[in-house]
Structure formats: structure tokens, C-alpha cells
Amino acid sequence: MAVLRNYRELKVWQRAYQLCREVYRATNAFPKEERFGLQSQMRRAAVSVPSNIAEGYGRHSTASYVQSLLVAYGSMCELETQLFLAADLGYTRSADVELCREHIGHIERMLMALVKALRRKSRPLESSNPGVLES
């Protein structure tokens, strides 16, 4: 198995970064009154996903890494809710929403697989420090 040199090599980070770019593009046409409302919220949630994946990668403990991945997952759920609202309000095209939701589905599966793998890898630590990886 190849060792990753940095977080940018993580497929989940790459996909989350693509999602972030799509959200910025999709929110460009929002009404001016939403510049500091829904548009801003969506963009912050979108940026939070790859940012937390990157931050977690740079942590020195598996538990911190897992926690950062779970924060990224939460931001993604927040973003998906905001996408639904933007679509219902007619602020986004259905094609943009569908593309973002496709990214979200892939990222969700990738994040949970990574969390599961990290937890499984760190299982031997649990006996010496119970509860370290509880979420």
C-alpha cells in the first residue's frame, strides 16, 4: 500500500474540493439579498468539508483525525439541507443541485469508509485507553 505524502492525495479530499467548487459556481446567481444569507451559509458549509478533511489529516492522533472527518460529514449534511432549500426557493438549477447531491453521496460513503478504517486500525489502542474514539 502506497503512503500518502499529503492530504491532497486523498480521493475524498479531491471529491470534496470538487463539491466546494461546484457550490461556489451554483451560488453565483443567487439574489443579492442572499449574499450574506443562504449563499454565504452554503459556501461556508462547502468549504468546511475539504478543510476539515485536510485539518484531520494533519492531526497527530487517530481520534482527532476521526473527529475532523465527522465534522466534515456534519458540514456536508448541513450543505445538503441548504441545497434543498435553495432548490425549493428557485435559486439554483435542478442540474446543479443534482450534481452537488451526486458529489455528496460519494463523499458520504468515502468519509464513512475512512472513519471505519481508521477506527478499525486503532482498535488495539482501545484496550489501553477506552473511549478514545467514541463519537
103 within some domain: yes
Angle between helices 38-57 and 11-26 (to 10 degrees): 170
How many structural domains comprise the chain? 1
54 within some domain: yes
61 within some domain: yes
Per-residue confidence band for 1, with pLDDT thresholds at 50, 70 and 90:
low
State the pTM of this model. Answer: 0.86
Contact predicate 13/110, CB 8 Å = no
Per-residue confidence band for 57, with pLDDT thresholds at 50, 70 and 90:
very high
pLDDT value of position 122: 81
101 within some domain: yes
CATH value at residue 41: 1.20.1440.60
Query: How far does Cα 23 stand from its chain's mean position?
Result: 12
pLDDT value of position 4: 74
pLDDT value of position 2: 59
135 within some domain: no
Average pLDDT over residues 50-75: 95
Question: CA 7 to CA 111: how far, in whole Å?
Answer: 13
Helices within the chain (DSSP H only): 11-26, 38-57, 62-88, 94-121, 123-126
134 within some domain: no
Domain residue limits at 12: 8-123
Q: How many CB atoms lie within 10 A of CB 21?
A: 13
Question: CA 135 to CA 68: how far, in whole Å?
Answer: 11
CA distances from 21 to 17, 62, 76, 96, 99 (A): 6, 28, 14, 12, 11
1 within some domain: no
129 within some domain: no
Average pLDDT over residues 14-40: 96
